[in-house]
Structure 1
Amino acid sequence: MAKTHRVEVLLWSIALPGFGQILNGKFLKGLLLIALEFLINIQSNLNSVIISSFYGRINETVIEVNYQWLMFYPCLYMFGIWDAYKDTKGAITPYDAIPFVVGAYFGTIGVIYSSSLLGSVWSGILGILIGIGLGLLIRYYLRMVRIEKREMLRNMVPSFFIFHCRNNKHVIKPSNHKRTEGYLVYPFLVMTVRQSDSFMQYLCNV
């Protein structure tokens, strides 16, 4: 899908959960998210709290808000953004969801401590931003570990066999090449793989 459409969907999802899903053609899911957003918004008095926050009346935001309902909002908000982004991206790479999930966690923590920090709105927003930043770092680290693990397994010893992973059927073929496109090289694991099919599946998915 075009990058411009992806950005458009992401921006509309940030504006209101559910709009991105409607742009993606997921009307039922979009309308459900919008309905949930309206429900939580009304029950938590969120609009009044937002107005008070922009005027700097932090103490009033703590008094006006219904925390029993507001606690749901960061998770709903971040899920709506992630779901719309996922549908536009197509192929999802490993750990893509982590920044959104951690953002939801920290947004909720920000709401919990809002009475002693920046109020119900700004504390939640700050928590979401911190969570997204931390989630991006975690995702980067996990991807680097995954790449290093893959390269370590491929380069551990010279290759004599190629394990071809196709439809979970493992065919062992002799070869003098260190690497052939579409094959994974682990000669020293022939006996191990024959004894452990689950380990073979793990290697094929590295």
Structure 2
Amino acid sequence: MTSLILFNKPYGVQSQFSNDDNNKFASLAEFFDDKSLRVAGRLDATSEGLLLLTADGKLNKTITHPPKANNGRKQGKTYLVQVEGIPTLQQLKQLSHGVMLKDGKTLPAQVQLASTEDLPITLWPRNPPIRERKNIPDSWLILTIFEGKNRQVRRMTAHVGLPCLRLIRWSVAGFELGDLAVGEFVQVSLDGEQRQRLGI
């Protein structure tokens, strides 16, 4: 039966199993022994939250490169984004309509301003903690994108004048982080509805 691992990746862990001596970040090998696992959609070492892994090559490809049956549209990925400053309506509109980056304009995104109480999870302390400036407020955005440009969310918010302080991926392709603690994972077997949603 097709299965998928949902992992709450800590800050400072790379989305790969190998590591070199010059890299200051940890690797997935510190959390998983199964060498057949592959990452389905990377997450930067300095980002946190949901990382999907599977030994099923077809499932991996479906998540990262959706079939034509899904109109070639990548599955949505939702991030909780802590930014420096208070977003204006204009900045939120820019993010939702798409912004022009060096590698092209981003697709329209879904974005909303949120208080910490509105976030779908209780935040855990980050190690190391984010930088704080007494005279500059910060805010949280819930941002869903439908593509995967390199460091896209960070570049999008920076482009509109909202530097990213902390980035947590909440969901990918309909799978959510839930109440997984940092460094914890759960293995799920895909049911018929989930397989249909993914087009497999």
Q: Does the TM-score normalized on the shorter chain lie above 0.5?
A: no
- Write 1 or 2 for the structure with the bigger share of helix: 1
- Write 1 or 2 for the structure with the bigger share of strand: 2
- The normalised TM-score by structure 2 is 0.23
- The normalised TM-score by structure 1 is 0.23
> Relative contact order (alpha carbons < 8 A, sep ≥ 6): 1 or 2 greater?
2
**Bigger radius of gyration:** 1
